[in-house]
Amino acid sequence: MSSEKGRTFSHLQWKDRLRIEKMLKAKKSKTEIARTLRVDYTTIMREIKRGQTIQRDTNLVDRKVYCAETAERKYQENLRAKGPDIKLGNDHELAQYLEGKIADDGYSPEAALHKIKEDGLTFSVTLSKWTVYKYINDGVFLRVTNKSLPMGGKKKTEYKKVQAARAPKGESIEDRPEEVATREEPFHWEMDSVLSAKEGGSKKRFLTMTERTSRADLMFLIPDGTMASVVAVLDMLEKKLGSFNFRRIFQTITVDNGSEFQDWEGMTRAVTGDGERTHIYYCHPYSAFERGSNENGNRMIRRKVPKGTDFTGITEEDTLQVQRWVNEYPRGILGGRCAGRVLMELAQEAGVKGVELLL
């Protein structure tokens, strides 16, 4: 235990590891970190070694960095090996909150913990996701088991580019500007549709749009998978937002080669002004990974509307509720923030009006 005044525990906690990660990214020295956390310099040295992981930067160069989650995972594994019983304690409010988010709202343990921070909530205990997973495995929660958890990520599929049998109506994704591909600039979208049950199901479907930088999703219930239904949604949005705002919010849209997206002229031409209202880019055939953000968004939608669901009874209000759930779900890729909030902040920074009408 550190002899410095104010330090009352002998081991680093999850919040300490997060501070270490943040300070290292800010180029703080190990001595300064030790002083800030009121621990010995050797404690920080051991901790950094424990949390080292390999990260590949944008130049494809591997480098060693400290990762708080790696350090916490190894710490918890060591504790389990030693056999101590880590308890949630008497914070019943936190236990009930986590149970509600995971069992009722469909959150993962990591998302539930991010939501605490996102909403500015405070509890007497600070947990890591690894601790919550351990509690679930150990049966600590009354209403949460491993069956309550969202399914893990799928194994990455190897894709091969397939040459198109015919040229797309519009431009290929190969011609899309680099700043769109790198997500350096917001307000570029990916679009797809989510279908009803195949056998005996309704022709209704969701038209989904995902903003690439924020990962925010828009959902529209359309009567069928025709080109006219897709164009009608874009026409509605342009009339709702006005031509100027539409052009700023929907600068580009990337789609696949589905039959519903073949009316390039209808999707791009303006109805409240002159010229093009947006720019459409087409993915390579059978290359869903080129709309990766939209594919991930659609998987989240399927957590609320599973495959095989008949859309006959689904309403506009149902659609809006799912959209809100998706956009209020904390994302690890956004540092635990919600996609809808990030999109609103991007709009405020850029002086773009009308986004609030969509969420």
46 Cβ neighbours under 8 A, 6+ residues apart: none
Q: How confident is the model at residue 151 (pLDDT cuts 50, 70, 90)?
A: low
Cβ proximity of 237 and 219 under 8 Å? no
Instruction: Look at residue 2 in the predicted model and tell me its pLDDT.
Output: 39
Least confident of 65-79, 96-110, 312-326: 65-79
Averaged pLDDT, 46-61: 81
In one-letter notation, the amino acid at residue 44 is I
Percent of the chain exceeding pLDDT 70 equals: 87
Instruction: Look at residue 130 in the predicted model and tell me its pLDDT.
Output: 87
Cβ proximity of 224 and 312 under 8 Å? no
What is the rounded distance in angstroms from the CA atom of residue 54 to the CA atom of residue 60? 12
Instruction: Look at residue 188 in the predicted model and tell me its pLDDT.
Output: 97
| Sequence-distant contacts of 24-30: CB under 8 A, at least 24 apart | 24/48, 24/65, 24/66
Tens-place pLDDT, residues 314-344: 999 999 999 999 999 999 899 999 999 999 9
| 190: nearest Cα among 213, 164, 223, 224 | 213
Instruction: Look at residue 84 in the predicted model and tell me its pLDDT.
Output: 46
Instruction: Look at residue 92 in the predicted model and tell me its pLDDT.
Output: 78
The dihedral region occupied by 310, where left means phi > 0, alpha psi between -120 and 50, and beta the remainder, is: beta
Is the pTM higher than 0.85? The answer reads no
| 330: nearest Cα among 12, 29, 117 | 117
pLDDT at 358 over 60: yes
Instruction: Look at residue 168 in the predicted model and tell me its pLDDT.
Output: 54
Instruction: Look at residue 282 in the predicted model and tell me its pLDDT.
Output: 95
Tokens of 125: 């205990």
HEC per residue, 315-348: CHHHHHHHHHHHHCCEEHHHCCEEHHHHHHHHHH
Tokens of 130: 């690894």
What is the rounded distance in angstroms from the CA atom of residue 271 to the CA atom of residue 40? 67
Cβ proximity of 313 and 334 under 8 Å? no
Rounded to whole angstroms, the maximal C-alpha distance in the chain is 73
| 302: nearest Cα among 183, 176, 177, 154 | 154
Element (H, E) at 255: strand 252-255
Cβ proximity of 40 and 50 under 8 Å? no
Q: How confident is the model at residue 87 (pLDDT cuts 50, 70, 90)?
A: low
Instruction: Look at residue 145 in the predicted model and tell me its pLDDT.
Output: 80
pLDDT at 178 over 80: yes
Averaged pLDDT, 256-263: 94
User: How many CB atoms neighbour CB 125 within 10 A?
Assistant: 13
Averaged pLDDT, 174-197: 92
**Which residues share a beta bridge with 274?**
none
Averaged pLDDT, 111-123: 91
Tens-place pLDDT, residues 189-207: 999 999 988 766 789 999 9
Q: How confident is the model at residue 159 (pLDDT cuts 50, 70, 90)?
A: very low
| 208: nearest Cα among 186, 193, 223 | 193
Percent of the chain exceeding pLDDT 90 equals: 55
